[in-house]
Amino acid sequence: MSTRKPVTVVTRKLPDAIETRMMELFQAQLNLDDHAMTRGELIAAVGKAEVLVPTVTDRIDKDVIAASGPQLKLIASFGTGVDHIDLAAAQAREIVVTNTPGVLTDDTADMTMALILAVARRINAGEKLARSGEWRGWSPTSMLGARLTGKRLGIVGMGRIGQAVARRARAFGLSIHYHNRKRVYPDVEAALEATYWESLDQMLARMDVIAVTCPHTPATYHLLSSRRIKLIKPGALLVNTSRGEVIDEGALAQALASGTLAGAGLDVYEHEPAIHKKLLELDNVVLLPHMGSATLEGRLAMGERVIINIKTWVDGHRPPDRVIEQLL
């Protein structure tokens, strides 16, 4: 086992336990005030780091990678998605890229289900009414929402998170439908009692609730385009806990404002941290600040996976979560 301690630049504040362990194992340079690094700071970081530990807030594009020194050999991303990293540019420079898959599945699925419940039962509006001082007591027709039992849930993206959402949704009496790039294994489909739709268009037109859980890739950019949003069944609900770029946010806002869509729950946005102005004005949208994976347990597990990937690389072995080859 190697005792070498590579220069490791961490771009954001991580949990104390993770930063402490990094300081012990590596020549770690931490971001003490947790500011989002500027482009200039990222370029300076790749110019000196042997290992860069970025997060989804850091755009590691081809120009940043081109500015890296020959010593940069590993980008150990703190997060599951790698759409913020130019994988082709990294591969061309023989830089290994890793991520932290699997550890956030349950946390994100929990939040997806929470948003479905919040939108269907108007929890956000009810909480505001209770705090307003204007609530006049129970009424038979006040704060009416929608029952989930017996409704159809269409899941866009049936990977780990999509399947975890399906398991939770079945417990609430929802009928499971899904669209995925590839059909899942028959035993998985049978266990979830899930109906596969090869055509996303056809599925969208028939669902009562739609949950977006697919990753953001060039193929999924605006997968829910203006045209597809118009196909969604009138009165349906939509929840997105994947990436904002998967949905045409302007078209979504228009559909919600017109009442074509009954409601939406969003944890991610197309131009984060900016949120479409019209969405901010609507009462039928639950808006969260990208907190689907924000549990202490999840963040610690992410940090531990980053450390394992770095240590494995330092020891001269293939990191367990190397992603560049499988995603190109």
For the beta carbon of residue 304, count every other beta carbon within 10 angstroms: 16
Catalytically annotated residue among 170, 290, 304, 322: 290
Backbone angles phi, psi at 67, to 5 degrees: -85, -5
User: Residue 179: beta bridge partners?
Assistant: 156
Query: At a CB cut-off of 8 Å and minimum separation 6, what does 101 contact?
Result: 80, 160, 321, 323
Maximum C-alpha span of the chain: 69
CA atoms of 79 and 179, how far apart (whole Å): 24
Active-site annotation holds for 272: yes
Catalytically annotated residue among 243, 276, 299, 305: 243
Contact assessment for residue 12 and residue 79, using Cβ atoms and an 8 Å cutoff: no
Active-site annotation holds for 243: yes
Query: At a CB cut-off of 8 Å and minimum separation 6, what does 11 contact?
Result: 31, 37, 42, 45, 52, 53, 54, 55, 57, 58
Active-site annotation holds for 276: no
What residues are labeled active site?
243, 272, 290
